[in-house]
Amino acid sequence: MTGGIHMEKTFIIKNLDCAHCGGKIEDALNRLDGVDSAVLNFPMRKLRISGNIDEKLISLINSTASAIETGVEIVPEAEAVSCGHCHDSEDSHENGLPILITGTIFFAAAIAADAVFGILPLTLALFVVSYLILGGNVLKNTVRNVKALKIFDENTLMTVATIGAFAIGEYAEAVGVMLFFRIGELFENFAVARSRKAITETAKLKVDEADVLSDGEFIRKPSEEIKVGDILRIKNGERIAADGIVESGESRLDVSALNGEPVPVTVRKGDSVMSGSINLADVFTLRVTSTAEESMISKIAKAVEDASANKPHIDRFISRFAKIYTPIVIVAAVLTAVIPSLITGQWTKWIHSALTFLVISCPCALVLSVPLAYFSAIGAASKLGILFKGGNSVEALGKVKAVAFDKTGTLTDGSFTVTAVESFGKLSNDELLKICGSCEQISSHPVAVSITSRCREFDLNLDEPQQSRELAGRGVSAVLSGSEILCGNRRMMDENDVRLPREVPDVAGSVVYIAVDGIAEGMIVVSDSVKKTAAKTVAALKKMKLTTALLTGDKSENARITAELLGIEHAFGELTPHDKLHEIEALRSRYGETMFIGDGINDGPVLAGADVSGAMQTGSDLAIEAADMVFMNPEPESVVRAKKIADRAVLVSYQNIAFALAIKAVVLVMGLLGHPNMWLAVIADSGTAMLLILNSIRLLNTEKLRNIE
């Protein structure tokens, strides 16, 4: 056991070009003492380790990784970036091109010599030279692997297959296999590097420097030195370095990098702005509310990178499948070489078939393309302001059959206004507002905020309650000037035996009743408006054959009216957090996997209990923490985009599996039928990997997702 400090640390993994080998490294590291968890993000070449990390453990991690894949080096992310190591993979691809060209020239010369002169010593020498040039790295790795007793490695199997081809006189096939293997490897690495670049575009949105007010003048400072409370000057065309509130000035911002919306947003004094936005017009100043490290754009970048920690179930299945696939194919190769040969005596023919098996014995195409599909989906979603917290969230959303919404702040603006105040007895309307506002000061619920805002508009001085407590799904109880005050919904009144006047009519909006020492004194009606894309969102979901539901703590009548207005099929009102969870379970049992979208502090249990959940970025911290995805765009249309991305990711992953297995099956069957072709096998294997990678990274195209209709 190591004695290091328990922490989570990110490393860059260098010289790793095999996704299957990466999976082996991840498994081995998870078995080490001192490592709680190790998660490898192969497309990003990043390794996140949680455990008792010290120099001794880092050394053990490196030795374990290099024992599995020779030449692999694992370095802390900070060191890798400062030394420029993060680009080693791309550099190695460029260095491999001259080798490929040189080897191809010698191979072409060998084929020409064979056609003109036949197999002479010179012809054979040309084949051998071209083989050594093209397969030199493979042969070198094979020697190291054999010393380490690793016989199921891709390099070892490729070496055995090609040397076997030489042994039976198939010189052109032997060199051709190495040629197409190297071509496939170069194209594969290029595609992965391209996808990595596209997925990590968000990280480029971080700002290195900003103008900070210091001693009466603005000076340029690194963004890492920005503190909460600093005043920043944002010039035309500049990207904002930290979240804040406009201190002075007015301008228009491009926020498309954050929420995918192309329409600029106008901001004035007092408005909140997020880092990553671009100033399109006049100079303005803002007061920083979070450091650059804690800013929204940093959270987005971190969310995209961290999403690999939560892998989809299909990814885990592929990892388990990969462990048994190679041994099974090798056993099949041995049986193919021996059994038919003993029966027919045609050893050369059946050994040739067996060598074809070895060429396609590595499952890299599957191991790489399936997780890349989900990773690409996460990257695409981030461009549209949707933050998935893992590939498992994407996969779960792809299986959803029903979508349930909270009402306030999700389908409605949440910008409540007091529309009516009615006294039941001796208290005036202003007195009711003051009592209720004084008690509601502790709550951040939109209804409470609207009441306290109305008190300020009327210049009503609020008192500080002696005691106060917020009851989720009900309201607020407090002690004010010695009296017990209840401010809440009808359920709260019923539970506390407060009798309401029979003549209280049903009204549209949220009703807050006020009771003083057990006596109902009046009510305040608060209403909000439906968001502009809410109806369009519901219609799009129904077009996708999804069932929709509304779950709210608001009155049942309000729930019914809102549901009818938006076309939602099921509406449930006056629900406690426990009631919402119960309704989610009922929807799941009736329709299948169910998603819930909410943003309130009391939505935590149902967000955690749904099959998959989403929260608005404007919602409570608890909701954002509990949700599986966060929508940066406050409009609910993001739910439709997220669902479409998830559906595409699931479809692409299954396409990749089906296509890869079908191609490998065709090659295997051809070999079993006595029609071996090593050229076809390596082209099929490398070509399949390339096609599957391209199929996965096409998920990065988000243009068709902007219109949800």
The model's pLDDT over 635-690, given as tens digits with 9 standing for 90+, comes to 899 999 999 999 999 999 999 999 988 888 888 888 777 676 777 788 787 788 88
- The maximal CA–CA distance of the chain, rounded, in angstroms, is 115
Identify which has the larger pLDDT, 19 or 85. 19
Residue with the two structure tokens 């692997």 = 145
* Position 1 confidence tier, pLDDT thresholds 50, 70, 90: very low
- Using the predicted structure, report yes or no on whether residue 242 has a pLDDT greater than 60: yes
CATH node for 386-412+530-632 = 3.40.50.1000
- Using the predicted structure, report yes or no on whether residue 356 has a pLDDT greater than 70: yes
DSSP assignment letter at 289: S
Q: Looking at residue 570, what is its pLDDT?
A: 96
Pairing mode of beta strands 417-423, 278-279: unpaired
CATH 2.60.120.10 corresponds to the domain 209-291? no
Classify domain 417-527 by CATH architecture: 3-Layer(aba) Sandwich (3.40)
Three-class secondary structure of residue 309 per DSSP: helix
247 in Cβ contact with 285 (< 8 Å): yes
Q: How far apart are the first and last CA of the chain?
A: 57
How far apart are alpha carbons 571 and 654 in whole angstroms?
35
596 in Cβ contact with 606 (< 8 Å): yes
How far apart are alpha carbons 444 and 601 in whole angstroms?
9
How far apart are alpha carbons 203 and 297 in whole angstroms?
8
Say which residues have a Cβ less than 8 Å from residue 229's Cβ, sequence separation at least 6.
Answer: 287, 288
CA angle 308, 138, 321 (to 5 degrees): 40
* Position 527 confidence tier, pLDDT thresholds 50, 70, 90: confident
In what helix (H) or strand (E) does residue 679 lie, and over which residues does it extend?
A: helix 678-697
664 in Cβ contact with 356 (< 8 Å): no
DSSP assignment letter at 674: T
Dihedral in degrees, nearest 10, Cα atoms 588, 591, 597, 600: -40
Range with the poorest average pLDDT among 464-478, 580-594, 689-703: 689-703
Range with the poorest average pLDDT among 38-52, 98-112, 267-281: 38-52
Identify which has the larger pLDDT, 533 or 304. 533
Q: What's the pTM?
A: 0.74
Structure tokens at 118: 């036949």
- Using the predicted structure, report yes or no on whether residue 390 has a pLDDT greater than 70: yes
Give CA 122 to chain center in angstroms: 56
Identify which has the larger pLDDT, 31 or 95. 31
Beta bridge partners of 432: none
How far apart are alpha carbons 201 and 530 in whole angstroms?
34
In what helix (H) or strand (E) does residue 501 lie, and over which residues does it extend?
A: none
Q: Looking at residue 529, what is its pLDDT?
A: 80
pLDDT digits (tens, 9 = 90+) for 457-476: 999 999 999 999 998 878 99
Length of the chain: 709
The sign of the torsion formed by the CA atoms of 614, 617, 619, 622 equals positive
Three-class secondary structure of residue 150 per DSSP: coil
- Using the predicted structure, report yes or no on whether residue 357 has a pLDDT greater than 70: yes
Domain extent listing, the chain: 5-83, 90-199+308-373+650-700, 209-291, 386-412+530-632, 417-527
Strands (E) across 431-540 are located at 467-471, 475-480, 483-488, 510-516, 519-527
139 in Cβ contact with 132 (< 8 Å): yes
CATH node for 5-83 = 3.30.70.100
* Position 86 confidence tier, pLDDT thresholds 50, 70, 90: very low
* Position 84 confidence tier, pLDDT thresholds 50, 70, 90: very low
241 in Cβ contact with 209 (< 8 Å): yes
- Using the predicted structure, report yes or no on whether residue 399 has a pLDDT greater than 60: yes
How far apart are alpha carbons 315 and 312 in whole angstroms?
5
411 in Cβ contact with 639 (< 8 Å): no
Identify which has the larger pLDDT, 14 or 540. 540
* Position 207 confidence tier, pLDDT thresholds 50, 70, 90: confident
Beta bridge partners of 471: 475
How far apart are alpha carbons 314 and 625 in whole angstroms?
25
Range with the poorest average pLDDT among 50-64, 79-93, 289-303, 349-363: 79-93
- Using the predicted structure, report yes or no on whether residue 552 has a pLDDT greater than 70: yes
How far apart are alpha carbons 621 and 623 in whole angstroms?
5
Q: How many CB atoms lie within 10 A of CB 529?
A: 12
Active site residues: 406
Q: Looking at residue 502, what is its pLDDT?
A: 67
Give CA 129 to chain center in angstroms: 47
Q: Looking at residue 83, what is its pLDDT?
A: 47
Name the average pLDDT for the chain.
84
**Alpha-carbon distances of 96 from 557, 695, 707, rounded to whole Å:** 69, 25, 43
How far apart are alpha carbons 429 and 423 in whole angstroms?
6
Identify which has the larger pLDDT, 364 or 230. 230
* Position 709 confidence tier, pLDDT thresholds 50, 70, 90: low
Beta bridge partners of 596: 404, 613
* Position 503 confidence tier, pLDDT thresholds 50, 70, 90: low
Q: How many CB atoms lie within 10 A of CB 590?
A: 12
Range with the poorest average pLDDT among 103-107, 322-326, 610-614, 643-647: 322-326
DSSP assignment letter at 481: T
